[in-house]
Structure 1
Amino acid sequence: MRSVRAKAAIGATVVVAVALIAAGAAVLLTLRSSLIDRTDLEAEVVARDVAAQLATDVPPGRLELPDDERRPVQVVAEDGRVVAVSKQLEAISGTSSSEVLPGPARDGAAGDDDDDDDDPARGEVSGDEPSFSSGAATVDGDRADYRFASVEVTSGERQTYTVHAGAPLATEQDAVGTVRDAMLVGLPLLLAVVGSVTWLVTRRALRPVEGIRREMAAITASEDLSRRVPEPASRDEVARLARTTNETLAALEASVERQRRFVADASHELRSPIASLRTQLEVGAAHPELLDVPGAVEDTVRLQQLAADLLLLARLDAGERPGGAAVDMGRLLREEVAQRSGDRVTVTVDAGDGLEVSGARGQLARVVGNLLDNAQRHAATEVAAAVRSERGRVVLTVADDGEGVPPAERERIFERFVRLDDARTRDDGGAGLGLAIARDVARRHGGTLTVGSSPRGGALFELRLPTAGDGPAARRGR
């Protein structure tokens, strides 16, 4: 059963069937209980009427029993003798005696037709609730089920009798049977309707899903990520699924396009130093005296740096998580500046100790180095770097006094292989990966990297990182 429609239809049908069966059983039980209570009341009325006669000392032989053959009555004495029965009663069960013929009277027992006391004592009907039982009786050849009410009575001569009066259960049985038969006929029909309606509704609801599936299959077959799945006009879950799918396709298309550009740009960037190095080696092989060893070493170093940048970007794109070590950003900045003592532009540092962040020291050193390289490349006379604490974050700033970055280009410079100074040589301008790597590393460490205007007139790069214990690496270790 692989179809969602079939599962939904069967599930709804089963749930409705269970609910209807439980409700039907409850209705039948309630109906039967109500009808039995009514039957018990009818039997009790007859039994108390006969008991009232005995209480007024009417002899059992002169009792006025119901003429209705559907109301059988049996009167049983204290010693178990049947002293009175209704007419045409041929058999009875469910009472204290199965006899249907009056037994012989005892000597001196009440019920003597010749006993005419001028002032007889009055008896009494038991105040206890009558007892009820189920049984059967045969009246004039017809056997039926009955409910019997049993009432005890004491006559004026202190004789105790039990009056059993019956009321037929035919009405209760017919009513319950009719309702049961109606349920047995209606339940399958209702379940068929529920299953059919659920099937149709589910089919209509899933029709857009099938459209999405077909379009996704077509996109997979054609590898055309510019295509989009149809979005229903409704605002339900299927419409949200379609919109999310299209957003995913758009993100995937952009990612694939970035990957293509990255590969193309990387190939282009690698081609230049490789071609230059090959040319120098070929010239050196043919004319050793013309070999430019410093140029070959420079191209090799540049090629090595580019390969390292590409490898780091590949690791970042693969989701490599930064380490959880505590890194003192002030000390890290001073170490990076100390390695640049002979550079064209000097770097002034304003950083104290104890400003720590959690992460990979090597990656953070790469960020600081890239920011310093970029600032020294564009500065006129001076670069200023500082580290401070601000609202639970460690902030590193690198400012230069160069031409700055135009506001329209401040996001573009963080894209890969983007250089605003294209007129410069590749050796001077770099490959355009440093700032892209710096921002990716900052994001991996839960921070941000932005660029603005420096008070010195140039660019101001600002790196903000969570303090040690608040970064993503520290949270993963908790």
Structure 2
Amino acid sequence: MADPTTPPAPAADGLTIRRSRTARLRAGRLRAAVRRHSAAARPAVLAARLTPRSVRARTTLAACTTVGAALLVASAALLGLLHANLEHTVESGTREQARAVARLAADEQLTPLLPLDHGTDFIQVVDARGRVVATSQNVAGRPALAPVGAPDGRTTFDLRPLGEEHRQRVATVTATTPNGPVTVHVGSSLRTVDAAQDVAAAALLALCPLLLLTVGVLTWRTTGRALAPVEAIRAGVAAVGDRQLDLRVPVPAADDEIARLAGTMNAMLARLEAAGARQRRFIADASHELRSPLAVLRTQLEVALAHPDPAVRTALLEGALEDTDRLQALATDLLLLARLDSAGPDRPDDSVDLADLVDSTVRARAGDPHPVRLDLAEGITVAGSPLWLGRLLTNLLDNAQRHAGRGVTVRLYRDPGAGRAVLDVANDGPAVAPEDGERIFERFTRLDDARSRDHGGAGLGLPIARDIARHHGGGLALVPAADGTVFRTHLPIAAS
């Protein structure tokens, strides 16, 4: 009987052993799978290591491989044609001699010993009963030679009794004589054919590697010379840094694809340099525009904090609020410019009625100092963003109101020749000098008569308007006018 005080062995030990065995089996299977995968991947890794990586090496390898394959095919074809042509020549001569002997037999002019032509192994003339009627000197006194089968299906004879160990071709011709039919056998040696083929094979075996080596060397040197400008371009681009955008890559003298590539790279570097310069100028101008109102705002707040007179403090706080509004407007413009700069090529596709947009925008500006005269053509619809197009019109109206003498005119019409909508915003104020026609569209640019913050803006309204027009597939430009200033916006009309 078991001792009741002794606890039973836990059943979990067997379960732990089984789990341990299962884990070992799984680990073994995993290691085996890894070894199989490594063995299967080893040839691919080796092939990747042996594959040349440079364009020069790959081009040379491709040229050598192509030329080598072409040489192999051409050599085989040449040897085959040479062999066939020489054998045909031997066979033609052999058959012609057999026919000549047959004519002699038919004319009863056959002699017991027949002379051999050059390259002929033997001649035998056998009658119907198998007796030798005439023969060449080298087989005189021998019985009729027995024909044996050749691998190529041609008739040949065993010449080993004559001490000959080479191939031959045999022509057999039957002739009718007064004594009965006879069979003429003429065998010609193929020693010259085999010798010529061996010489040709040896010459090709010596010349093909030399030609292949020449092709490899020429391809290596030519490819290196052709890729030298590319390497120079790569080194030039690698030398361009954040502070060295003025560097340019060398342009080869030849007018080829590489020269055009170098010109394109230089044009791209020029655009990057111009973009970097615009970005640095934009940051500097933005810092300047933000620093001035911030300094004024700080001064007003400090004075208001220290001044004991409530009336003065109120006036200072009102000025600070105005400067805060100016800062808010500037920050909004900067944010809109950033959004326009980062906007992709996709254009807004909302349908916008320009006449309704212009009419509603002008009606919402009831407090403008100068009246606005409208001349709007109906039914002109463009694809775009109503918010951004409204901002474009608002910026143009702000600029026109700022410089107008008596009034502002807004005209909307269709350009039938170009299929575009044209929006003119004109004012009767001072005209802009021709040399400033493009400069006013640069960011933070204010002309001399608009430098005052009481009358001029931050210099972002017109650049924002032009960017919006371009983002919608159109443009904005200053056009000559008899009196005053006209800003003309053109936008593509939406397809109906």
Interval containing the TM-score (normalised by the shorter chain): 0.7 to 0.9
Deviation at 1:96, TM superposition (A): 8.4
Work out which of the residue numbers 133, 143, 162 in structure 1 matches 2:165. 143
Aligned residue for 1:26?
Answer: 77
1:420 and 2:471 correspond? no
Task: Indicate conservation of the 8 Å contact 2:147/2:157, yes or no.
Answer: no
Q: CA deviation at 1:218?
A: 2.8
Shift of 1:240: 2.6
Q: What is the aligned partner in structure 1 of residue 254 from structure 2?
A: 234
Deviation larger for 378-387 or 70-79: 70-79
1:179 aligns with 2:200: yes
CA positional deviation for 1:241: 2.6
Alignment-derived partner of residue 302 in structure 1: 326
1:56 Cα deviation after fit: 5.0
What SS does the corresponding residue of 2:199 show, helix, strand or coil?
helix
Look up the match of 2:494.
468
1:67 maps to a residue whose letter is L
Q: 1:348-363, aligned counterparts within 5 Å?
A: 348-363=373-388
How big is each residue's C-alpha offset from its partner over 1:92-124, in whole Å with a ceiling of 9 and x where there is no partner? xxx98349xxxxxxxxxxxxxxxxxxxxxxxxx
| Paired residue secondary structure (2:430) | coil
Alignment of 1:56-455 (within 5 A): 65-68=114-117, 70-73=120-123, 86-89=136-139, 97-98=147-148, 133=154, 135=156, 137-138=158-159, 140-153=162-175, 159=181, 163-220=184-241, 223-286=243-306, 290-292=313-315, 293-320=317-344, 321-390=346-415, 391=417, 392-421=419-448, 424-455=451-482
TM-score, reference length from structure 1? 0.80
CA contact (8 A) 1:132 1:148 kept: no
For structure 1, list consecutive stretches of 5 or more residues without a partner in the other structure.
100-130, 471-478
Count of residue pairs the alignment pairs up: 430
TM-superposed deviation, 1:4: 2.8
C-alpha separation in 2, matches of 1:278 and 1:74:
131
- C-alpha distance in 2 between matches for 1:72 and 1:192: 47
> Could you tell me how far 1:266 is from its partner in structure 2?
0.9
Other-structure match for 2:29: none
d(CA) in 2 for partners of 1:242 and 1:52? 83
Distance 1:437 1:314, change over 3 A: same
How many Å separate the matches in 1 of 2:348 and 2:68? Answer: 59
| Structure 2 residue ranges without an equivalent (≥5) | 1-51
Q: Deviations over 1:376-429 (max 9, x none)?
A: 111111111111111211111111111121111101111111111455422421
Q: Report the 3-state secondary structure (helix = DSSP H, G, I; strand = E; otherwise coil) of the residue aligned with 2:352.
A: strand
Structure 1's 365 and 98: CA in aligned 2 closer, same or farther, altered over 3 A? Answer: same
What per-residue deviation string (whole Å, max 9, x for no partner) do you get for residues 419-471 of structure 1?
A: 1145542242111111111112222222121112234x11111111111139x
CA contact 2:120–2:186 (8 Å) conserved in 1? no
Shift of residue 255 of structure 1?
0.8
Distance 1:89 1:387, change over 3 A: farther
CA distance, structure 2, for counterparts of residue 329 and residue 204 of structure 1: 60
**How much does 1:141 deviate?**
0.4
Aligned counterparts of 1:401 and 1:208: Cα–Cα separation in 2: 58
What SS is found at the alignment partner of 1:429?
A: coil
Q: Could you list the per-position Cα deviations for residues 158-203 of structure 1 after superposition, in whole angstroms to 9, with x for gaps in the alignment? A: 75x6544322222122112212211111111122222222222233
Q: In the aligned structure 2, how far is the partner of 1:340 from the partner of 1:400?
A: 16
CA distance in 2, matches of 1:63, 1:132: 31
Q: Which letter does structure 1 place at the counterpart of 2:116? A: D
Name whichever of 231-240 and 379-388 sits farther off: 231-240
Residue identity over aligned pairs, in percent, reads 46
User: Is residue 89–residue 137 contact of structure 1 (8 Å, CA) maintained in 2?
Assistant: no
- Matches of 1:355 and 1:461, distance apart in 2: 19
Secondary structure of 2:251's match? Answer: coil
Describe the shift of the 1:187–1:380 C-alpha distance in structure 2 as closer, same or farther (beyond 3 A).
same
Question: What TM-score does the superposition give when structure 2 sets the normalisation length?
Answer: 0.78
| Counterpart for residue 7 of structure 1 | 58
Structure 1 residues 20 and 375: alpha-carbon distance in aligned structure 2, compared to 1, 3 A threshold: same
Local SS of the residue matching 2:154 = strand
Name the CA distance, whole Å, in 2 between partners of 1:76 and 1:377. Answer: 129
Q: Relative contact order, CA 8 A, sep 6+: which one is greater?
A: 1
Higher helix share: 2
Alpha-carbon deviations, 1:245-264, whole Å to 9, x = none? 22222211111111000011
Seen in structure 2, the aligned counterparts of structure 1 residues 247 and 98 have a Cα distance that, compared at 3 Å, is: closer
